[in-house]
């Protein structure tokens, strides 16, 4: 926004500054007359549709059930209205990562 203030110092016209920068005149006016830069507060995180069901999911995962389709059916019976992808992302935290299977390389002669 310092660029806007510099242009205004040269041109002395809010309308011309707005035309050259592509901003709205009201935005240019706010930038010029502002005493300091606006400070935006971080927004609070939104609650997930899955939050009320996480305790029951964690207990089922502790029992060994990692199948998302089974878990989805169970929490839908409890009133869950969300989708499958958020459930998959939650269950993925508890899955043990698989080790990559080793491949033994070998060379052969052409035609073999």
> 52-87, pLDDT tens digit by residue?
999 999 999 999 999 999 999 999 999 999 999 999
- Look up the pTM and report it: 0.57
pLDDT tens profile 22-44: 999 999 998 888 877 778 889 99
Let me know: does 81 contact 49? Beta carbons within 8 Å.
yes
Burial annotation 53-90 (CB, 10 A radius, 16+ → b, else e): beeebeebbeeeeeebeebbeebeeeebeeeeeebeeb
Let me know: does 75 contact 55? Beta carbons within 8 Å.
no
Instruction: Give the per-residue pLDDT at 47.
Output: 95
Instruction: Give the per-residue pLDDT at 2.
Output: 73
* 75, containing H or E segment: helix 68-77
Q: Compute the distance between CA of residue 34 and CA of residue 29 in angstroms, rounded to an integer.
A: 8
pLDDT band at 1 (very low <50, low <70, confident <90, very high): low
Q: Compute the distance between CA of residue 105 and CA of residue 103 in angstroms, rounded to an integer.
A: 6
Instruction: Give the per-residue pLDDT at 6.
Output: 87
Instruction: Give the per-residue pLDDT at 39.
Output: 80
Instruction: Give the per-residue pLDDT at 68.
Output: 96
């Amino acid at each position: 926004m310092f660029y806007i203030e510099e242009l205004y110092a040269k041109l002395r016209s809010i309308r011309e500054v707005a035309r050259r920068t592509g901003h709205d005149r009201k935005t240019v006016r706010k930038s010029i007359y502002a005493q300091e830069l606006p400070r935006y507060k971080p927004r609070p995180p939104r609650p997930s549709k899955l939050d009320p069901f996480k305790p029951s999911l964690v207990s089922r995962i502790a029992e060994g059930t990692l199948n998302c389709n089974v878990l989805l059916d169970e929490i839908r019976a409890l009133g869950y209205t969300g989708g499958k992808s958020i459930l998959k992302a939650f269950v993925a935290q508890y899955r043990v990562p698989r080790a990559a299977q080793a491949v033994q390389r070998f060379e052969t002669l052409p035609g073999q």
